[in-house]
């Protein structure tokens, strides 16, 4: 009995000592990593790096200069596939969708003869003409702002973005039929309007928006290549296209998007996890993530501060890369890939040697 009491006594002492040690380490790490985080934030602020939504969110735009409402109206003009009401736009999109397994569904050479005949009629319909006139008007407006609710963080909605590529694909199909009918000038005007609409997305600072912008550019450039191979492009329109495409090579939208990802996504999550109660932390992770992470994050919150510092530095490094010419980035990525490959190869060979 005495031995059991001694064991229990020493077990209690050891357990109590461990608890005290953990608390002390927790406090020390919280102080050290908290100071490091504050220092990192001060340095970034001194460098002019946006750290709040107000510092990077696009400024408000007068309705008369904003293309977003018109694009929204154009998107809503295309009925849903479940809508049985007759619509030229819906029928045209259905044909494009039916050919979506092709690399570029806007390339009508992969369509059936019946689809090409119907598509040619649909493009000339009054409904499609009115839809295009609306997009042409949007393309002439100087700005684009969907007035996103950045306070929602990762849950923020990006209105109409999912339909943007479909919209541009229909424009590419329209240009294809116009070029096929010998109306090269109108086909080029349609492509130019599409490129202007695509570049409107450069004003929305999210990575996914910029990726959609590139996808839209690719659709239109493929159509432009096909058109140029079949007909001569007038000098005046060539200059217009070159001037427009020069605007699409600017790295500024990507740099701004990194700021949007840093503040509107990453910092939003870190800030809530560092301040959240256990119940609130579960809400941050949501239903799709394992809830077991929530109590771990709450207990090891000082480590989260260190992770936050690493995240901020990595995001700043990524943003600085957009200031470099593409060929320098290509060299850096090639060097990184070589180092990773050599390290893996060395590890594999060492493993073989050890096995022998």
Question: pLDDT tens digits, residue range 155-173?
Answer: 898 988 988 988 999 999 9
Question: How far is the first Cα of the chain from the last one, in angstroms, to the nearest whole number?
Answer: 55
Q: How confident is the model over 2-35, as pLDDT tens digits?
A: 777 777 777 777 778 788 887 887 888 888 999 9
Alpha-helical regions (H) of the chain: 2-46, 53-56, 68-76, 88-98, 113-123, 126-140, 161-180, 184-200, 207-230, 235-247, 252-260, 268-275, 278-285, 293-299, 301-321, 326-355
- Residue-wise pLDDT for 96-122, tens only, equals 888 876 655 567 888 899 999 999 999
**Residue among 86, 68, 90, 65 nearest 77 (CA):** 90
pTM greater than 0.75 (yes/no):
yes
Of the pLDDT bands very low, low, confident and very high (cuts 50, 70, 90), residue 296 is low
Residue 9 CB contacts under 8 Å (≥ 6 apart), including other chains: none
206 confidence band (pLDDT: 50, 70, 90): very high
For 23-81, what is each residue's pLDDT tens digit?
A: 887 888 888 999 999 999 999 999 888 888 888 888 899 999 999 999 999 999 988 77
């Amino acid at each position: 009995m005495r031995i059991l009491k001694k064991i229990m006594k020493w077990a209690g002492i050891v357990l109590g000592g461990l608890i005290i040690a953990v608390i002390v380490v927790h406090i020390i790490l919280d102080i050290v990593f908290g100071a490091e985080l504050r220092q990192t934030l001060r340095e970034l602020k001194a460098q002019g790096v946006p750290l709040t939504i107000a510092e990077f969110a696009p400024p408000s735009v007068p309705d008369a200069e904003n293309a977003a409402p018109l694009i929204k109206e154009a998107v809503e003009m295309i009925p849903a596939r479940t809508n049985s009401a007759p619509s030229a736009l819906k029928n045209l999109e259905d044909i494009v969708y039916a050919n979506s397994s092709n690399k570029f569904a806007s390339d009508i050479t992969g369509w059936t003869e019946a689809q090409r005949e119907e598509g040619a009629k649909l493009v000339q319909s009054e409904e499609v003409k009115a839809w295009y006139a609306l997009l042409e008007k949007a393309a002439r407006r100087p700005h684009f702002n969907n007035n996103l609710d950045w306070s929602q963080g990762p849950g923020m909605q990006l209105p109409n973005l999912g339909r943007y590529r479909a919209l541009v694909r229909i424009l590419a199909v329209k240009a294809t039929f116009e070029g096929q009918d010998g109306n090269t000038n109108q086909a080029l005007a349609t492509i130019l309007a599409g490129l202007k609409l695509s570049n409107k997305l450069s004003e929305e600072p999210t990575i996914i928006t910029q990726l959609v912008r590139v996808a839209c550019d690719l659709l239109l450039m493929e159509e432009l290549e096909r058109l140029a191979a079949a007909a001569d492009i007038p000098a005046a329109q060539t200059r217009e296209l070159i001037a427009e495409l020069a605007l699409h090579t600017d790295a500024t939208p990507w740099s701004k998007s990194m700021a949007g990802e840093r503040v509107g996504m990453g910092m939003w999550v870190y800030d809530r996890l560092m301040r959240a109660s256990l119940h609130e932390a579960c809400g941050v992770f949501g239903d799709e993530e394992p809830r077991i992470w929530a109590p771990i994050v709450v207990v090891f919150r000082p480590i989260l501060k260190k992770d936050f510092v690493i995240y901020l530095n990595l995001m700043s490094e990524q943003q600085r890369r957009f200031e470099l010419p593409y060929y320098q980035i290509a060299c850096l990525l090639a060097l990184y890939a070589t180092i990773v490959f050599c390290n893996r190869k060395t590890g594999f060979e060492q493993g073989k040697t050890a096995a022998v």
